[in-house]
Amino acid sequence: MSPTLPNEIYQKIKIKLNEIHTRLAKQEKEHLVAQIQFLNSIQKEIDSKLDSFNQNAEWDTFTIAFYGETNAGKSTLIEALRIYFKEKTKMDSWNEFKNIHEIFLKEKENLKQSMLEQEEDIERLSRHIAEQIEQEVQNRKSFWYRLISFFKSRTPAIQIKKFEKELDDKKSLYVKTQKNFEALLNNQDNDRLLNLSDGVIIGDGRSDFTRKTTSYAFNINNQNFQILDVAGIEGDESQVIDSIDSATKKAHCVFYITRSPTPPQKGDDGKEGTLEKIKKHLGAQSEVYAIFNKSITNPRQLEQALINEGERQSLQVLDEKMCEALGEHYIGRKNLCAKVAFLALAECLFDEKTKQEREKFLSKYDSETLLQKSGFSDFADFIARSLIKNTQAKIKKSHYKKASEILCEFQTLLTEVSRKFQDLLSDAQNEVDNTKNNLERIKIQNLKIISNKIDKYIEKFKINVRIDTYDFIDSDVSDKEFEETFKIIIRQEQKILENNLILDDEFKKLQEDIKEELENLKRRISYAIQDFNHNLKIDFEHNISMDMKSGIDTVGIFASLLGVVGIYFTLANFWNPVGWTAAALTGIATLIGFGKSIYKFFSSDYKKSEQKRAANENLKRISENIKENIEVELEKLRRNINEYIQNIQRECETVTEHMREPYIFICQTQKEIRQLTYQIQHEGELP
């Protein structure tokens, strides 16, 4: 892939992935359809992620996201930074707040002064009326005053009524002034003051106070950057997930803020924990820090070090967990107290409770000392001197890291798939090897059964011929009768032997044993594929075909050949003149020699013994001849069955051969993605 401009990286990767997919899809075969569809669905997911990163990308301004649990103090810290670095919208708020507040204070002071003066007038007039009334009461005790008052109008009483009316008027004016004062406190300008005051962006303790990501632009030493105030990850995340996702994709650096020194915890019962959320949201970031925002509510807490030994040990575990989740992209941790820093910096406050809190801390330490003791000064200095240096290089690295992370996720998935495929192949090959061994065992066992059965029936043939022949000889027959009957007995037993040696049941058992073994292989392979599909959620359909019809037909032919043709042909040879008949007649002729024939004429027992001896000798020759000829046919049968089994074994191997092609296909894709990932990392100068 040719060198890429940073703002083209996501689109370039989409194009490259499409090229890889198109090239590999050209290899499409019937048993690769599932794998190609699987990769196609994964590519759609990757394309969607790339589009999302591209849409949310910030290419020009270095962006820092403040991310963490609900009520962790993200907004408090951002508000302190806005004041400290004189962020423009904050300064505009300050100016407007001060202008409105100055007018408000003047009006408030005037009304308070008027109310005070009116209170004094009311109090003075009330005292005067009381004095007049008291004087009138005393005068009325005099007889002469009552007598004079009888003839004259009551001037003092009239005067008192006049004063009382004046008092009522003053009270009415005071009530009106008081209402004007309350109206001043409650008018829209006061709402405006509240909205302009420092800390208005800070949560009030309710979950998910911040629902929408807010951006604040800064400029330090002509270096522009922005800070994102991200919704909390521990509230009702379903309402803010899009906002969190967009902010973390936009950011080039993230501060994970927590109030607790304990490490983020994993989830349970299928619910995501904080650690899983951090890995999911921040795994693609190239620069991540943690901030332990210590809770301090009393200035006496600042008399000690900001972090105690117990917190220090716990925070070391937090660092370890963050490293486990984010690797080398977790840079480190900062410790501070955002609330103290905010109280030290805030000047435009309208809320009385916050004012009192601020006064409590400032009564013990000045603002600069509070910033030092809270750890804020060091943090602000870190941002100004270190964090916002070489921002263009950081922006490029951030985007390449995000692109690389997407490819790494794809590569990790392919690695898992290929590993599972390798396990599946190994299991399948073991099953095939076991089946091949079992087929060999089945062949040997069944051939042994066939051979033993042939020996058994040949032996039975000999026994039956001997019994029938001996019974006939014992009836005291002539040599000629013996010879003719012996031939008849041989023919009869020959037919029986032929029927016994058809061996249909034995060959049927051989076929059934082979079929059962192949069905077992098919079932075990199917189970292995089901486990594979279940574990990886891939619909890998593999058609295991065990078509053995030609082989089974061949065995049937072998059975017919041996039972009908082979045995008949072998025994038929015994009746040709050159074969058994000539040998038998020669033997009989020899037995009827000159001396022995005379002796047999006089000794019946001797004749019988000689006839039995001749029968045994001829039966032995016939049996051996049968055995030899059958052995020749058996050897042919062994070769044919062996070839048949070997064909089946070779067909078993095709099971793994067909499974190996999807594995190779996945490995080829994995190799292509690995090369693309390396190129992206190299271009982005990623470690």
- Confidence band of 626 (pLDDT split at 50, 70, 90): confident
Q: Which residue from 668, 507, 608 is spatially nearest to 36, judged by alpha carbons? A: 668
pTM > 0.75? no
In a domain, 336, yes or no: no
The first and second tokens of residue 539, run together, are 């619909």
Residue type, 452: N
In a domain, 130, yes or no: yes
The residue with greater pLDDT, 2 or 32, is 32
Cα 359 vs. chain centroid, distance in angstroms?
A: 52
In a domain, 666, yes or no: no
In a domain, 290, yes or no: no
Average pLDDT of 624-639?
85
Residue type, 35: Q
The residue with greater pLDDT, 164 or 324, is 324
pLDDT of residue 343 exceeding 60, the answer is yes
Q: CB neighbours of 231 closer than 8 A, spacing ≥ 6?
A: 208, 210, 211, 212, 213, 240, 243, 244, 247
In a domain, 168, yes or no: yes
The first and second tokens of residue 169, run together, are 């008027």
Q: CB neighbours of 160 closer than 8 A, spacing ≥ 6?
A: 129, 132, 133, 136
How crowded is the C-beta side of 76, counted as CA atoms within 13 Å?
A: 26
The first and second tokens of residue 46, run together, are 């990757």
User: What is residue 553's predicted lDDT score, i.e. its pLDDT?
Assistant: 36
Domain end, chosen from 141, 168, 196, is at 196
In a domain, 280, yes or no: no
Rounded percentage of the chain residues whose pLDDT exceeds 90: 27
User: What is residue 657's predicted lDDT score, i.e. its pLDDT?
Assistant: 79
What digits encode the pLDDT tens for the residues 458-475? 999 999 999 999 999 999
Domain end, chosen from 196, 214, 249, is at 196
Average pLDDT of 315-322?
94
How many domains does the chain fold into?
A: 2
C-alpha pair distances (Å), 134 with each of 129, 152, 161, 271, 488: 8, 20, 14, 82, 170
* Phi (first) and psi of residue 29, to 5 degrees: -130, 165
> For the packed helices 309-326 and 274-282, what is the interaxial angle rounded to 10 degrees?
50
The residue with greater pLDDT, 361 or 583, is 361
What digits encode the pLDDT tens for the residues 260-290? 999 888 877 767 888 888 888 888 888 999 9
What digits encode the pLDDT tens for the residues 376-403? 999 999 999 999 999 988 988 888 888 8
- 498 burial type by CB count under 10 A (0-12 exposed, 13-18 middle, 19+ buried): middle
User: Which domain, by its residues, includes 173?
Assistant: 94-196
pLDDT of residue 334 exceeding 70, the answer is yes
pLDDT of residue 687 exceeding 80, the answer is no
C-alpha pair distances (Å), 248 with each of 151, 219, 236, 326, 464: 97, 21, 18, 14, 97
User: What is residue 648's predicted lDDT score, i.e. its pLDDT?
Assistant: 84
- Confidence band of 423 (pLDDT split at 50, 70, 90): confident
In a domain, 486, yes or no: yes
pLDDT of residue 344 exceeding 50, the answer is yes
- Confidence band of 600 (pLDDT split at 50, 70, 90): very low
In a domain, 253, yes or no: no
pLDDT of residue 527 exceeding 80, the answer is yes
What is the distance between the alpha carbons of residues 354 and 342, in angstroms, rounded to a whole number?
Answer: 10
Domain end, chosen from 196, 216, 244, is at 196
- Confidence band of 5 (pLDDT split at 50, 70, 90): low
Q: Which residues of 625-651 are buried (b: 16+ CB within 10 A; e: fewer)?
A: bbeebbeebbeebeebbeebbeebbee
